Every structure is written in structure tokens, then in C-alpha cells.
Structure 1
Amino acid sequence: MGAGADTAAEAHGGRRIAADAALVLAGLVDGISMNGLSPVPAIWICFALAAVALTVRHRAPELALLAAVPGLYLGCLSMAPLIALYSVA
């Protein structure tokens, strides 16, 4: 393989990291916009865990879904659990 193949693989990896970062940011913005600056630490833990779980959705989609579902169940999140569910499907 030539240098062009390495450059294409690096570009694909960079796009994947950027897409994951955008999804984590969307999950965090969703949690903050739905809950405001809630003083309840359980809500902060739920949406931080769900947003971080999105980073492993390619390698372990079931784990990402399991980490994100409590936020959906509690009603404090909507975007991160749905992204994780889409990854499993």
C-alpha cells in the first residue's frame, strides 16, 4: 500500500473522532438544556455517563445503550440514549 492509503485511513479516523466528539457534545447540551443547572447530582451523573458512553458505541454498542438508558427512564435525557439505541439497531 502506498502513502495515499495511509492518508485516507488517517482522514477517516479523524472524521470518526470528530463525529464522536460532536455526538458527546450533543448529549451534554441535551442534558443541560433539559435539566438546566439542577442541583441534583444523580441527574448530572446520568447525563455525563450517557454522554461518555457514546464514545464506546462503535466497540460496545450494548454497553453504551445500558449506560444511557437510565437517563431516558428518569426523563432527564433524550438524545444520548436514542443515539446509543440507533447504534445497537
Structure 2
Amino acid sequence: MSAPYNWVDTDAQLEHLTRFLGEEKAFAVDTEQHSVWSFLGYTALMQNSTQKEDYLIDTVALHDVMGMLRPVFANPSMCKISM
């Protein structure tokens, strides 16, 4: 990747991202699923992008705290763009 991005794999980084996204009017979302050794598969990576920055979230490392993003995704006045 030639463009800079922010790797998020700690609770503190995810908390920062949640606050950052909460101030945005719109952001893009993409997820990558892993299905090896799993019948249903699981989300292994989430990308959130604004016009300012890109964030790659290690959802495996942050599995237990991903709910932190719930208020951002539940906010109906914020546009979420699926990539």
C-alpha cells in the first residue's frame, strides 16, 4: 500500500477511532471475512475511511470490544457507505 493508513489493534486506538468517526458526517466501511477452520466464517478485518484518513481494524484482536463502535453505526444521521 502506498497510501498511509492507521492500524488499530488496541482498545485505546479503537476508542480514539470511535470518537473520530463520531464527529464525521459520513464514512466508508469494508470488511474482510476469514472462513478457514470455521463453518460460518468470521470478520477478520474492518476498514473505515473518511475523506481525511483510513483505518484498518484488527477485529480478531479486538473481538471483545468491537461493540464500542455500536453508537457510531447505530446513528441514523451519519451516512455509512459500504465499499
Shared fold by TM > 0.5? no
Greater helix fraction, Structure 1 or Structure 2: 1
Higher RCO, Cα 8 Å, sep 6+: 2
Greater strand fraction, Structure 1 or Structure 2: 2
Normalised TM-score (structure 2): 0.29
> Which one has a bigger Cα radius of gyration?
1
